[in-house]
Chains A and B, each alone.
Chain A
Amino acid sequence: KNEVEQSPQNLTAQEGEFITINCSYSVGISALHWLQQHPGGGIVSLFMLSSGKKKHGRLIATINIQEKHSSLHITASHPRDSAVYICAVRGADGLTFGKGTHLIIQP
C-alpha cells in the first residue's frame, strides 16, 4: 500500500513569506492531487499533476516522478492561505491521502 508522507505537519509563517509544503510517496503513481481544506472543513481542489509543474496564481505545484516527491509552493503568502493542505496520490492500490499540512499565515 502506498505510504504518503507530508512535511511539515504544521507550519506558521508571516504574511509575505514563501511557503513550501512537501509530499513523498512510496510506490509509483499515475497522478497526484493537491487539495486545500478550509477551517470550516470544505475541500477545494488546487492541482492535479502527473508530471512537471503547474502554476495557478500564487500557487505552484511540482512533481518529480523518479524521486516520488511533490512540492506545493505559495508565493507572497497571505492570512487567507491559512488552511490544511492535503496531498493525495493515485496508484495501483487506489487513492491514498496524506495527513495534511496545517498552515497558519500570521499578519
Chain B
Amino acid sequence: EPEVTQTPSHQVTQMGQEVILRCVPISNHLYFYWYRQILGQKVEFLVSFYNNEISEKSEIFDDQFSVERPDGSNFTLKIRSTKLEDSAMYFCASSEAGYTEETQYFGPGTRLLVL
C-alpha cells in the first residue's frame, strides 16, 4: 500500500542552524501539508501546498519557514534559523484532492530537537 515517508526520523540541531525536513508524498497526490506537534500538546497546522505554491498557512508559519517541491517526488520544510521552541514532531501529509474533499495520509513524522 502506498505511504508517505519522511526523513530523517530524528534530528538534533543547534539553535540558529538551518534544518531541512524531507517528505515523499504518495505519488499521485497533489496536495501536501506540514503539521507540527510540540511534546504533550495538540497537533498544529503549518502550511498546505498545491500546484507549486502555498495555498494556505497558519500564523506559526512565519518567515523562518519555507516549503519547496524541488523535484517530482520530494516535499521539504526548511527552518532557516532554528529556535528552542521549534523542537517538535513534524508531520507531512498528502491527499489526492483538497482538504475538504479527501482524506489526508500522514507520514511517520520527524522528531526535531533544538539545543
- Encode contact with A along B86-115: 1 for CB under 8 Å, 0 otherwise: 000101010000011011111011010000
Residues of the A chain whose Cβ atoms lie less than 8 Å from the Cβ of B105: 45
**A42 in contact with B109 (CB, 8 Å):** yes
Binds A, one of B16-24, B39-47, B68-76, B77-85: B39-47
Does B43 contact A88, Cβ atoms closer than 8 Å? yes
CA–CA, A94 and B46, complex, Å: 10
- Cβ contact of A97, chosen from B43, B93, B111, cutoff 8 A: B43
| Chain A: interface size category | 20 to 34
Structural contact, B42 and A90, CB atoms closer than 8 A: no
Chain B, interface size category, equals 20 to 34
Name A residues whose Cβ lies closer than 8 Å to a Cβ of B.
30-31, 33, 35, 37, 41-45, 47-48, 50, 86, 88, 90, 94-100
**Which of B56, B103, B104, B109 meets A41, CB within 8 Å?**
B109
A90-B100, A97-B42, A97-B43 given; A44·B89 CB < 8 A: no
Q: Is B99 within 8 A of A95, CB to CB?
A: yes
Name the CB-closest residue of A to B41: A99
Instruction: Check if B108 sits within 8 Å of A97, measured CB to CB.
Output: no
B27 at the interface (CB under 8 A from A): no
**Contact of B58 with A by CB under 8 A:** yes
Task: Determine the residue in chain B with the shortest Cβ distance to A100.
Answer: B42
Q: Is the CB of B44 within 8 A of A97?
A: yes
User: Which chain A residue shows the least CB distance to B44?
Assistant: A97
CB distance from B44 to the nearest CB of A (A): 7
Q: Are B106 and A90 in contact (CB under 8 A)?
A: no
Report A31 CB to chain B, min CB distance, Å. Answer: 4
Quick one: which of A37, A43, A97, A99 has the most chain B CB within 10 A? A43
